[in-house]
Amino acid sequence: MPTLPVLPDAEQLVDQLVEQLRPRVHANTAMVGIVTGGAWLAERLHKRLAISAPLGLIDISFYRDDYSSSGLKASVKPSHIPFDVNGRDLLLVDDVLYTGRTTRAALNELFDYGRPRSVQLVVLADRDERQLPIAAQFAGAVIQVPLGQSLELHRDAQGRFEFALQARIDVGNSQPAGAP
Amino acid sequence: MQANPQLNKRGGLQHLLSIDGLPRDIVLHILDTASSFVGISEREVKKVPLLRGKSVFNLFFENSTRTRTTFEIAAKRLSADVINLNVDTSSTAKGESLLDTIDNLAAMNADMFVVRHAQSGAPHLIARHVQSHIHVVNAGDGRHAHPTQGLLDAYTIRHYKHDFSHLAVAIVGDVLHSRVARSLIGVLRTMGTPDIRVIAPQTLLPAGVEQLGVTVFNDIAQGLRDVDVIVMLRLQNERMRGPLLPSAQEFFKTYGLTDERLALARPDAIVMHPGPMNRGVEIDSPVADGGHAVILPQVTFGIAVRMAVMAILAGGV
């Protein structure tokens, strides 16, 4: 039984991200959060950074690469990008960066709305084990998580964030190549 | 008893043949998924890659440009390859049997058949015949069913009225020949609509229609009182010459939806029509163009609902 990592304080990481991002935000910046955890984080960052363009949200269900094996999940939230993507400098926000497949799907969907000038990836936690050539420009922390565990962001009734480890029921496509 | 051919072993949707036997949670899943697809049609790129590499065959043994077009648009917005076949003008005219046609198309690696047929039950026959990786969608068979129309009607009602549990819905016109009416009554019951009315002359009502759980009115003024939703059915031209009806003018006088009659319904009532409508026969122009009509939004929602059905079928869970 591998020892489980000590998880950092998610609230503290949000504060750090805000400070990292603040000098990078300008008039052309817009933010898009990936449903669900990324959207929670994006709501907080968007407000604290006082970004003038309204916050966009995307649900990548229709762009997943494991759709033919796992189907549509029960509740797909409509994506909502309430600004013109063309020419924008976008901050794409997710809670945890892992294989990179979610980010790939989100990028594909974003480009169906238009052609942004740039896209930078913002995550609260980077757990490594990438399966695609994708990297976060802004990460709250790098966390090593044992295989078979998933790192999740939880939000309590007061809106406070906390990390949690969960045993994965279905590893399927998300399992890194070469894993048992 | 035969297992429900619409469901796979895990209880997911395998084919969409009829509203009958469609569990409520699947209906809700279709309607919820459709609402996510509505926005896609307003984007710069009106496509998602869900059905990329899949081949959808539109098999229309009976002409219907409009229904075929909406299925075609829906499949294309899911990135599928769409092949349209008007079968009455091709192989069946040369004497090929229905299932031979299907086998040939399956040999061309079809993933989905969208079937419109004048014969009730034809899509069921095809669904029972094909291999399990092929999905069948009924796009209207005889007088039997038109499930995607029923679902898009339900979607439209839910969009404007949010909840079915207090609604009174009136379906007006040629119920006898209408697969639309049958599917709509089915889905309204599944969604728990307490007051479903059909309004028609006795000659245009099927025998025993009350057994579907509806209240029958022969007088439109009585039937429309305080309803939330009015669904006008198309009066097909070929019916008007037969013994069932004296004339189109006569029908309009007794059953046509005019502003006066619309005033009997609730002030926020919506007026629906599956199209194509006959102005001056079942519906008066001021009503069709008025503020209560949601006939064009029905068309838009219809594409999203058909996208949802195809996406859920191809997802296979």
Is residue A96 a contact partner of residue A40, using CB atoms and an 8 Å limit? no
Kindly state whether B314 is in contact with chain A, defined as any CB-CB distance less than 8 angstroms: yes
As separate numbers, helices (DSSP H) first and strands (DSSP E) second, chain B gives 12, 9
In this predicted structure, the answer to whether residue B126 has a pLDDT above a threshold of 90 is yes
CB-closest option in B45, B47, B316 to A71: B316
In this predicted structure, the answer to whether residue B63 has a pLDDT above a threshold of 70 is yes
Which residues contact residue B154 at a Cβ distance below 8 angstroms, ignoring those fewer than 6 apart? B27, B31, B184, B187, B188, B191
- The answer on B181 and B280 residing in a single domain is yes
- pLDDT tens column, B16-30: 999 999 999 999 999
- The answer on B280 and B209 residing in a single domain is yes
In this predicted structure, the answer to whether residue A13 has a pLDDT above a threshold of 50 is yes
Question: Is residue B7 in a domain?
Answer: no
Mean pLDDT of B108-137: 94
CATH number at residue B244: 3.40.50.1370
- The answer on B159 and B266 residing in a single domain is yes
CA of B141: how far to CAs of A37, B115, B179, in Å? 45, 8, 8
pLDDT of residue B317: 47
Question: Is residue B186 in a domain?
Answer: yes
- The answer on B256 and B151 residing in a single domain is yes
- The answer on B166 and B95 residing in a single domain is no
CA distance B214 to B53: 44
Question: Is residue B76 in a domain?
Answer: yes
Is residue B156 a contact partner of residue B169, using CB atoms and an 8 Å limit? no
- The answer on B106 and B155 residing in a single domain is no
In this predicted structure, the answer to whether residue A175 has a pLDDT above a threshold of 50 is no
- Enumerate the H helices of chain A as residue ranges: 10-21, 37-48, 67-70, 101-111
Q: Which amino acid is at B136?
A: V
CB burial of residue B295 (10 Å; 0-12, 13-18, 19+): buried
Positions of E strands within B66-220:
81-86, 112-117, 135-141, 168-172, 195-199, 215-217
- pLDDT tens column, A62-82: 888 887 777 777 677 788 999
pLDDT range class, residue B247, cuts 50, 70, 90:
confident
Question: Which contiguous run of DSSP H or E holds residue B153?
Answer: helix B147-161
CA distance B113 to B237: 29
Kindly state whether B38 is in contact with chain A, defined as any CB-CB distance less than 8 angstroms: yes
For A125, the domain range is: 10-63+80-142+149-170
Which residues contact residue A37 at a Cβ distance below 8 angstroms, ignoring those fewer than 6 apart? A94, A95, A96, A152, A153
Question: Is residue B9 in a domain?
Answer: no
- The answer on B196 and B282 residing in a single domain is yes
Question: Is residue A178 in a domain?
Answer: no
In chain B, % of residues over pLDDT 70: 94
What does the mean pLDDT of chain B come to? 92
- The answer on B227 and B135 residing in a single domain is no
Nearest residue to A109 via CA among A139, A131, A76: A76
Positions of E strands within chain A:
29-34, 56-58, 89-97, 118-126, 138-142, 149-155, 161-167
For B58, the domain range is: 24-145+300-315
Question: Is residue B1 in a domain?
Answer: no
CB contact under 8 A, A62 and B316: no
Number of domains in chain B: 2
Q: How many C-beta neighbours within 10 Å does residue B81 have?
A: 14
CB-closest option in A78, A112, A113 to B36: A78
Question: Which contiguous run of DSSP H or E holds residue B67?
Answer: helix B65-77
Q: Which residues, in sequence order, are bridge partners of residue B113?
A: B57, B136
In this predicted structure, the answer to whether residue A177 has a pLDDT above a threshold of 50 is no
Is residue B81 a contact partner of residue B55, using CB atoms and an 8 Å limit? yes
- pLDDT tens column, A95-143: 999 999 999 999 999 999 999 999 999 999 999 889 999 999 999 999 9
CATH number at residue A14: 3.40.50.2020
- The answer on B259 and B139 residing in a single domain is no
pLDDT range class, residue B39, cuts 50, 70, 90:
confident
Kindly state whether A80 is in contact with chain B, defined as any CB-CB distance less than 8 angstroms: yes
Q: Does the bond joining A36 to the residue before it have cis omega, within 30 degrees of 0?
A: yes
- The answer on B235 and B105 residing in a single domain is no
Question: Is residue A15 in a domain?
Answer: yes
CA distance B221 to B253: 12
Q: In Å, how far is A21's CA from the nearest CA of chain B?
A: 29
Question: Is residue A52 in a domain?
Answer: yes
Question: Is residue B19 in a domain?
Answer: no
pLDDT of residue B146: 95
Kindly state whether A84 is in contact with chain B, defined as any CB-CB distance less than 8 angstroms: no
Is residue B28 a contact partner of residue B34, using CB atoms and an 8 Å limit? no
- The answer on B67 and B165 residing in a single domain is no
Kindly state whether A75 is in contact with chain B, defined as any CB-CB distance less than 8 angstroms: yes
Question: Is residue B211 in a domain?
Answer: yes
pLDDT of residue B89: 62
Interface of A with B in 117-136 (CB under 8 A): none
In this predicted structure, the answer to whether residue B130 has a pLDDT above a threshold of 90 is yes
CA distance B210 to B4: 25
Question: Is residue A17 in a domain?
Answer: yes
- The answer on B214 and B81 residing in a single domain is no
In this predicted structure, the answer to whether residue A171 has a pLDDT above a threshold of 50 is no
Number of domains in chain A: 1
Kindly state whether B44 is in contact with chain A, defined as any CB-CB distance less than 8 angstroms: yes
Kindly identify which residue of chain A lies nearest to residue B42, measuring between CA atoms: A113
- pLDDT tens column, A20-40: 999 999 999 999 999 999 999
- pLDDT tens column, B290-314: 999 999 999 999 999 999 999 999 8
Question: Is residue A4 in a domain?
Answer: no
CA distance A47 to A21: 12
Q: How many C-beta neighbours within 10 Å does residue B237 have?
A: 10
Nearest residue to B56 via CA among B27, B83, B74: B83
pLDDT of residue A170: 54
Question: Is residue B15 in a domain?
Answer: no
pLDDT of residue A178: 37
CB contact under 8 A, A62 and B32: no
Structure tokens at B50: 């869900």
